[in-house]
Amino acid sequence: MLPIEVFTCFPGHMWDKVLSKVKKAVVFMDDKCAESLHWNGGATSVFEAGARNLKEFSSFEAGGENEPKAVFVVSTLLKGRTADIIKDIIGLSHFQYCVVFTTVAHSIQLLANNVTAELEGNPVFEQFEEKLSEWMGDMNYTAEVIHAPVVFAPVSPQLLLAPTFAHLFPLLPQDLKTINIKRTEKKRFVSLTDVDMQSLTPELQIEIKTLASAVNSMFESTSTREESFAVGPMSRLIAGELANHPQAKSRRKTATNKASIVFIDRTLDLTGAAGHHGDSLVEKILTVLQPLPGHTTDVQVDMLELTNLQHIPDSQPTLAPGCLAQTQLSTARLLWETMLASKQKEAVMEVRRQLVEAASKENLPIKMSLGRVTPEQLCSYVQLFKSSWGALESHCGVLQLGLATAQTLRHPTLPRWDTCLAFERLLLQALGDSDFAGVLRQLLPLMKPRGEEGSSSESSSGSRAGEDECGPDELLVLLVYLYSLAGEAQPADDEEVEKVERELIGALTLVITRETELSTLLQKLTGCGSPEELTMERAHTAVEGVFETLKELSHARDHLKQFTSVYTASDGVHQATYRPFLRQVLEEIFHPDRPECPDIEHMSGGLTDLLKTGFSMFMKVSRPHPSDHGLLFLFLVGGITPSELRLIREVVTAHKPGTQVLVLSTRLLRPTDVPELLFTTQRLVPDIGV
């Protein structure tokens, strides 16, 4: 059995392919590839490999007169918008040598150009090489086009993210309606479980095939033969695509290592994704600190406290932010892993311990203090380093993580986390005691514009608005949390539910229109960049759309036979609790009796599987089971939370400690990501750069 490290090293090996070509080049990279690079050594690795410059992939960028070589790294098809941007950059430059890396395999590029026949060589890449030479102005200039699946980001030894697919999200019933519109009445799908690849939009087909191709590349480079399993309709499509991948079939005949991979749809448990129940420091850091521009996972850490610069209110910072991705220094990397895998109290204690240890190593005048860790204490330790450039450079990774922790713990919006958590607990208990209309009604008192009476007084709105008051973003998260559990409530009168929903729609519309600043989520939801653009009508239409989607959430598990609930009602002694879907799936996988679960579908099929089914009528033939191998991959389609990473570790340790588990996912989730993915993402038409 291969050690898990072999797989977490795979993304780095793919980047080595790119880095081997960047010497003396100007490198242009799109945001998705840049985020992958960020966790694979960052810009430092590009410059250490000899690159002259690293620039954004944009029509407004170009190379200088004395820069004859360019390398482009893109996560898209080589046509449409992507081709236009490359042409624009070349047109403004003086290149004589261009290399283009794309994460999309040649077979998928062919498909996107409506070529289904198998052709010799790489005609799409060869044609694009000719175009590059043409754009450079001389057919004798050198042009190369290469496929490199640089899609994975090793965020920790147990977690690989795929930022390229951060907006890939399982389909909802409303997407099914859109798919059915183009089908004749007799051929319409009844449920999302009936949807096949051919019925999806070309864009989504390309996205799924590219993801399956990237996973296949990882297994190919490690000579791994996998058994694929799926839980949920979207997972079924991805696992099926991986099982039928042309290269995968030949790989499985010769592969020497074995593993199981289980794909799971995020939509089967949105309670876990939207909830604030996880006792995780990293979840809070991701929620309260601003994201790094162009990134879905990392955040900006204010480095001002490591300088002698003065903080000037309302001014644009000139200081580059710090971040969480510490790939260079081993102490910082280990601290990040602890923060990600531990409970908040343990994580904060470890941050303090590492800062104290670093200060002691540098003989800095540190004042030891025991007891509760405070943000002020962490900042005082960090500030000791600003007087010594050498110490600062040696420990910059730990200092960035220390500052991220301190800035989160003292952040003015952090109390909202506890407000949401308290309200979620209240809703959880109410679900067992009343019907859904009654539970919904409990949200009405929260639906007040910030600064109003019952929310906070006018005079204090400035300070309170930043504290424990729920703004529109938090209200949307609470609605997702509640509707994802709607099926657990006692039967309700439909008319009564509709009446309360109309009241909530009106109240939430008012809340949104009274905002003095629109959050990123509200901008995407309403299509307005500022409060001045936002009319009552536009806000009302957006909120109505939100409620249409919300009503579908409670039906996400309707097709399942075993994992139908994520809720345990109160029994009079114990309070009602949330039962994580992931825990249920893992406990089933590691059950000592190895029961056959109807909801975990085996997808690696083919002829052998059909033969096994036939033979099993006459003799005992056991079907493949996810726990057959000592190596298990869990792929969460639509994102995973830091709390769930800890949960996976706990379940594996308790039930099957010898098993190695590597988690793959499309993104690391913060609660507010969930409304964005549900209400503002083009799930059927992802952006593939065309």
Residue with tokens 């499309």: 666
Q: Is 83 helix (H, G, I), strand (E, B) or coil?
A: helix
pLDDT band at 452 (very low <50, low <70, confident <90, very high): low
The span from the CA of 549 to the CA of 6, in Å, is 41
User: In this prediction, what percent of the chain has a pLDDT beyond 70?
Assistant: 94
Upper half-sphere CA count for residue 139 (Cβ side, 13 Å): 3
Upper half-sphere CA count for residue 659 (Cβ side, 13 Å): 26
Residues 140/652, Cβ–Cβ less than 8 Å: no
pTM of the complete model? 0.93
pLDDT of res. 619? 52
Q: Is 623 helix (H, G, I), strand (E, B) or coil?
A: coil
pLDDT surpassing 90 at residue 366: no
CA proximity to 301, closest of 211, 210, 217, 398: 398
The span from the CA of 575 to the CA of 565, in Å, is 16
pLDDT band at 464 (very low <50, low <70, confident <90, very high): very low
How much is the mean pLDDT over the chain? 90
Please tell me which residue, 610 or 447, carries the higher pLDDT value: 447
Token pair, residue 455, equals 């929310």
pLDDT (average), residues 382-401: 90
pLDDT surpassing 90 at residue 252: no
DSSP string, 211-260: HHHHHHHHHHHTTEEEEEEEESHHHHHHHHHHHT-HHHHHHHHH--EEEE
Residues 480/675, Cβ–Cβ less than 8 Å: yes
pLDDT of res. 455? 47
Taking phi over 0 as left and psi of -120 to 50 as alpha, with beta for the rest, 223 belongs to left
pLDDT band at 260 (very low <50, low <70, confident <90, very high): very high
Span of 195-204, 299-308, 461-470 with lowest mean pLDDT: 461-470
Cβ contacts of 241 within 8 Å, gap of 6 or more: 197, 208, 209, 211, 212
Give the model confidence (pLDDT) of 203-250 as tens digits.
Answer: 999 999 999 999 999 999 999 999 999 999 999 999 999 998 888 888
3-state helix, strand, coil in the chain (%, to 5): 50, 10, 40
pLDDT of res. 315? 65
pLDDT surpassing 50 at residue 501: yes
pLDDT surpassing 90 at residue 2: no
pLDDT surpassing 50 at residue 192: yes
Indicate if the alpha-carbon torsion angle 321, 324, 325, 328 is positive or negative. positive
CA torsion, ordered 125, 126, 128, 133, to nearest 10 deg: 140
pLDDT surpassing 60 at residue 668: yes
CA proximity to 398, closest of 338, 479, 476, 461: 338
pLDDT of res. 468? 67
The span from the CA of 85 to the CA of 335, in Å, is 40
Cβ contacts of 338 within 8 Å, gap of 6 or more: 346, 347, 350
CA proximity to 197, closest of 244, 161, 229: 244
The span from the CA of 474 to the CA of 451, in Å, is 16
User: In this prediction, what percent of the chain has a pLDDT beyond 90?
Assistant: 73
pLDDT band at 494 (very low <50, low <70, confident <90, very high): confident
Cite the beta strand spans of 50-194 per DSSP E: 53-56, 69-74, 97-102, 142-147, 153-156, 159-161
Give the angle 352-357-361 at the CA atoms, nearest 5°.
150
pLDDT of res. 432? 82
pLDDT (average), residues 3-22: 94
pLDDT of res. 3? 86
pLDDT surpassing 70 at residue 399: yes
Give the model confidence (pLDDT) of 75-106 as tens digits.
Answer: 999 999 999 999 999 999 999 999 999 999 99
The 10 Å Cβ neighbour count of residue 368 is 7
* Pairing relationship of beta strands 577-578 and 159-161 according to DSSP bridges: unpaired
pLDDT surpassing 50 at residue 458: no
The 10 Å Cβ neighbour count of residue 271 is 23
Q: For residue 318, report the phi and psi dihedrals to the nearest 5 degrees.
A: -105, 0
pLDDT of res. 621? 60
Residues 365/384, Cβ–Cβ less than 8 Å: yes
Amino acid occupying residue 445? P
The span from the CA of 196 to the CA of 171, in Å, is 12
The 10 Å Cβ neighbour count of residue 393 is 9
Q: For residue 610, report the phi and psi dihedrals to the nearest 5 degrees.
A: -65, -40
Give the model confidence (pLDDT) of 590-611 as tens digits.
Answer: 998 888 889 999 987 554 444 4
